[in-house]
Amino acid sequence: MFQRCKETILKRNFDKLVVQRAFNGVSSLKKIKSIGIITSDKMMDEVDLQKEIEAILKQRNSKVYRFRKFDKTADFSYKYFTEKDINWKGQFTQDNIKIFLEQPFDLLIGYFNTNNIFLESAVLQSKAQFKVGFAGVNSMLYEIEISEKTENVSAFTLELKKYLKIIKKL
């Protein structure tokens, strides 16, 4: 019950922040040198996302941060964040996710195709210059949305590469 209440409050605060972000102007037009990827643990179990994206975009400077459901028995890792790492105000409390979100990546990829308030909050709060993700999640989060299945990492990345070339970021 507390979890649903927390998610409702987070969603309300999230909606306010999304509207504010929509009026903050255009992102930078500089070339992409660093990539951040926010995804779920399930997605990373299915495919080596970082390797695929680095190979197709020909970039080596990428970092991945994952969301997974909180589990008391799971080992603590600096590669993950859980719903326990975000407070009722929508602020992240774990230092590692805060450091990741503060990095001014040239490109942030939100690699998830379902609505998840915790993943969406991470994308929204990221200081990345340019954000890309899947269509149908939240159109206010991204500068480019790509309609593809999450299993097709190479198709997603090739489509992304095409758009980045058009807008002269690659």
Other Cβ atoms less than 10 A from the Cβ of 76: the count is 7
pTM of the model: 0.86
Sign, Cα dihedral of 122, 139, 131, 53: positive
Residue 66, SS3?
strand
CB 130 within 8 A of CB 28: yes
Q: Which tokens is 42 given?
A: 């399930």
Give the pLDDT of residue 21.
67
* Whether residue 23 has pLDDT greater than 70: no
Q: Residue 146 contacts by C-beta under 8 Å, 6 or more apart in sequence?
A: 132, 133, 134, 135, 156, 159, 160, 163
pLDDT top residue among 24 and 67: 67
Q: What is the mean pLDDT of residues 45-55?
A: 86
Residue 140, SS3?
coil
- List the alpha helices (DSSP H) in 23-112: 41-46, 49-57, 95-102
Q: What is the mean pLDDT of residues 72-101?
A: 89
> What is the Cα 41 distance to its own chain's centre?
13
Which structural domains are found in the chain, ordered by start? 2-166 (3.40.50)
* Whether residue 30 has pLDDT greater than 90: no
CA distance 62 to 66: 13
Q: What is the mean pLDDT of residues 46-58?
A: 87
Q: Which tokens is 101 given?
A: 């979100």
Confidence of residue 27 (pLDDT cuts 50, 70, 90): low
* Whether residue 158 has pLDDT greater than 90: yes
